[in-house]
């Protein structure tokens, strides 16, 4: 019997993937991973300079999008479908964590609403736009970026961020169940603290907060963006064909730890 070796570099061959927030951090690392596995990648981002550079890096396409704007989000997915013929993967990853989002005692309503719009409303808009195409196709994989704080409480609070990611988690679970028999899988990626520009900027302003968080990670370090990208690629691929409505935790053991190693 001849055994054909697996070629994981083509695990996503023929797939068309949309990534929001794809110009930096986990989004960019995932764009690189998707492209390496054979996918056609469409980068959706606000920053035209970094977005175009990211698209060039992965041999993909850039579409400028404000993910809080319904018309722009619809155009992102509709343009992708009309250009490439399908929308097979949607990695709804765009998000913010501004310093004005802090304790509920000090976080004012404008800061709360801004974070909810970018982190939660955008995922609703992107899921809805992607599903229009995936339902017609009878297939698709949606991965929404939630967070480990969606399942745990933190005394170093970012109240709107935490609430928004809890909403992403719940919405992903419901969509995963609702569309399970239509060939569409929906999963929530729950990263632990990841060494991205967003986290580095936040912790540079507050080293004490960084130290308080690092001590709770059993592995003793923050995640690298490439490690999250590998998890996203798995969820996007047929290797995860029986995984939907999941809380897919990639957190270095944080959510399972009572005490951590010395």
- Give the model confidence (pLDDT) of 3-55 as tens digits: 666 666 799 999 999 999 999 999 999 999 999 999 999 999 999 999 999 99
Indicate if 161 belongs to the active site. yes
DSSP assignment letter at 6: P
Q: What does the pLDDT read at residue 201? A: 74
Q: How far apart are CA 260 and CA 262, in angstroms?
A: 7
Q: What does the pLDDT read at residue 14? A: 97
3-state secondary structure of 148: helix
**What mean pLDDT comes out for the span 226-248?**
98
Which is catalytic among the residues 84, 124, 161, 258? 161
C-alpha distances in angstroms, 100 versus 110, 112, 154, 188, 203? 9, 9, 17, 26, 14
> Domain map of the chain by residue range?
10-250
Task: Give domain 10-250's CATH superfamily.
Answer: NAD(P)-binding Rossmann-like Domain (3.40.50.720)
Q: How many DSSP H helices and E strands does the chain contain?
A: 9, 7
Q: What does the pLDDT read at residue 164? A: 98
**pTM for the structure as a whole:** 0.94
Give the pLDDT band (50/70/90) at residue 156.
confident
Share of the chain above pLDDT 90, in %: 85
Give the pLDDT band (50/70/90) at residue 260.
confident
Token pair belonging to 93: 């990853």
- Main-chain dihedrals φ then ψ at residue 120, nearest 5 degrees: -115, -50
Q: How far apart are CA 8 and CA 33, in angstroms?
A: 11
CA-based torsion, 84, 90, 91, 92: positive or negative: positive
pLDDT at residue 204 greater than cutoff 90: no
How do residues 52-77 score in pLDDT, each as one tens digit? 999 999 999 999 999 999 999 999 99
Q: How far apart are CA 207 and CA 69, in angstroms?
A: 35
């Amino acid at each position: 019997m001849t055994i054909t070796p697996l070629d994981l570099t083509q695990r996503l061959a023929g797939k068309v993937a949309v990534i929001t927030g794809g110009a930096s951090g986990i989004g960019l690392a995932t764009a690189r991973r998707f492209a390496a596995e054979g996918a056609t990648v469409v980068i959706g981002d606000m920053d035209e300079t970094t977005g175009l550079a990211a698209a060039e890096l992965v041999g993909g396409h850039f579409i400028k999008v404000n993910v809080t704007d319904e018309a722009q989000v619809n155009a992102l997915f509709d343009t992708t479908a009309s250009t490439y013929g399908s929308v097979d993967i949607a990695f709804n990853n765009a998000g913010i964590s501004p310093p004005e989002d802090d304790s509920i005692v000090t976080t004012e309503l404008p800061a709360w609403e801004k974070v909810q719009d970018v982190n939660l409303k955008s995922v609703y808009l992107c899921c809805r736009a992607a599903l229009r195409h995936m339902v017609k196709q009878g297939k698709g994989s949606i991965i929404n970026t939630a967070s480990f704080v969606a399942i745990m409480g933190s005394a170093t609070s970012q109240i709107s961020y935490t609430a928004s990611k809890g909403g992403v988690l719940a919405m992903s679970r419901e969509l995963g169940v609702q569309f399970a028999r239509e060939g569409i899988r929906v999963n929530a990626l729950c990263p632990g603290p990841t060494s991205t520009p967003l986290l580095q900027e936040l912790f540079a302003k507050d080293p004490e907060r960084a130290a308080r968080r690092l001590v709770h990670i059993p592995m003793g370090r923050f995640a690298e963006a490439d490690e999250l990208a590998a998890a996203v690629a798995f969820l996007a691929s047929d290797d995860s064909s029986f995984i939907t409505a999941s809380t897919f935790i990639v957190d270095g053991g944080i959510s399972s730890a009572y005490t951590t190693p010395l």
